[in-house]
Amino acid sequence: MTTQTQDPAAPDPTALRDVVALPLDHQQATLDQAHRHGVVPEASRAERRTSFDPADFPVPTGREEEWRFTPTAPLAPLFADGTGRVEGHDITVAVVAPPGVDVERVGHDDPRLGTAGAPGDRAAAVAWASADEATVVTVKASAASATTVTVRGTGTAPSAAHLLVRAAPGASGTVVVDHTGTATLAETVEIVAEPGSHLTVVSLQTWDEATVHAANHRIALADDAVVKHVVVTLGGSVVRVAPDARFTGPGGGLTMLGLYYADTGQHLEHRLFVDHAVPQCRSRVTYKGALQGEGAHSVWVGDVLIRAAAEGTDTYEQNRNLLLTDGARADSVPNLEIETGLIEGAGHASATGRFDDEQLFYLRSRGIPETEARRLVVRGFFAELLAEIGVPEVEARLLAHIEAELATSLGRSATGPEPTS
């Protein structure tokens, strides 16, 4: 039996309550209607191929379902056709950790590597095969402050990096992974939450504009583990982040948050998979993006699979996109596949729109200048996610970046001086 319900606590995708709940230019009505009637993807994610060997994945052409939204030409060096490895060394990794957190550099034969799961696409398998060493961050106790991992690109030679973040049983902590500089990078990020642990991982993509980055985040949650996974993508030319999460024990809780801001010519892609394979687990996914400028392109694909054994599952995913200028494009595809009717709740929503003229008129009629009204709308759009990150210094930094992007956007959209009253 296949059923679908909407989380009663989840936001109404068409609600127009306030500035934060933006009026939408258009809804993806066809998708929403299909979702309400329980339509599932053409191919089951339960049958998805995974392997540590790049040879098990053909080199993408862009015609495959997994790559149909992706500009494969810029990513071609990371597919390593023929060799299955990239050989560059233009990446440095530095870690600053508080007491209670261990940091190691280990060989690729360390038995802890690979425990979060196997790669699910060609770029992820190349990243695994190409990294001769890995950085392992282990949260052993309750850490009072965040661990900062800085991944810096120092050139454009195709390179690989591997990071494993582990939370010991009962431990709690936050790890911020900051990507900066210029790179052509295939990256593996493994996140393993042991029983009863609480772990927050924030991945910041603040690359220089020439960067090409393909990352696979593989998350494994044991019994009663709680993980908050945050992805913020602001920089780079072509950036594709693919988080895969699976529950390995009952009672787990997963929150996945994403924020992205695509500018002229940028391609920012986020492709998620949440695998509910065991009973009594909960997941919430919320991604929001803003786009401005000619050729700005975002892609969000959210796949959730509830297997037959996953009774008592409670899940909801949503994606919102705000188009700030003409010439920008957002593709958004939520997928929900359910193999059991014995669940607590499941639902998803997707919407893309532009500034609403009536909303702006309302704010301006209250004496707010147009540029400030637009700024308020965008800040309100992102406010919920910024507040949930839970790392004040990161929140402040992201808010400053959004303000800088807004200044560019408002400058483009200005048609003249503000009218006087």
Report the DSSP beta bridge partners of residue 296.
none
Report the DSSP beta bridge partners of residue 222.
none
**Span 102-158, pLDDT tens digits:** 999 999 999 999 999 999 999 999 999 999 999 999 999 888 899 999 999 999 999
Tokens for 239? 């950036």
Return the H-helix or E-strand segment holding 319: strand 314-323
Rounded to the nearest 5 degrees, what angle is found at the Cα of 96, between the Cα atoms of 91 and 98? 155
**Span 6-21, pLDDT tens digits:** 443 443 333 322 222 3
pLDDT digit string (tens) for the chain, length 421 residues: 333 334 434 433 333 222 223 333 333 333 333 333 333 344 677 788 999 999 999 999 999 999 999 999 999 999 999 999 999 999 999 999 999 999 999 999 999 999 999 999 999 999 999 999 999 999 998 888 999 999 999 999 999 999 999 999 999 999 999 999 999 999 999 999 999 999 999 999 999 999 999 999 999 999 999 999 999 999 999 999 999 999 999 999 999 999 999 999 999 999 999 999 999 999 999 999 999 999 999 999 999 999 999 999 999 999 999 998 899 999 999 999 999 999 999 999 999 988 767 777 878 888 888 778 888 888 888 988 998 888 898 999 899 988 888 887 666 554 433 333 3
Which residues are CB-neighbours of 106 under 8 A, at least 6 positions away? 112, 113, 133, 134, 136
Tokens for 115? 């425990």
Q: What pLDDT score does 410 carry?
A: 65
Q: What pLDDT score does 412 carry?
A: 54
- Give the end-to-end CA distance of the chain in Å, rounded to a whole number: 62
Do the Cβ atoms of 124 and 177 come closer than 8 Å? no
d(CA 168, CA 190): 14
d(CA 54, CA 218): 17
Do the Cβ atoms of 117 and 246 come closer than 8 Å? yes
Which residues are CB-neighbours of 416 under 8 A, at least 6 positions away? none
Q: What pLDDT score does 6 carry?
A: 40
Which residues are CB-neighbours of 290 under 8 A, at least 6 positions away? 260, 261, 262, 321, 322, 323, 324, 378, 381, 382, 402, 405
d(CA 10, CA 349): 9
Residue that is written with structure tokens 């990507």 in the block: 179
Q: What pLDDT score does 411 carry?
A: 64
Residue that is written with structure tokens 């839970």 in the block: 390
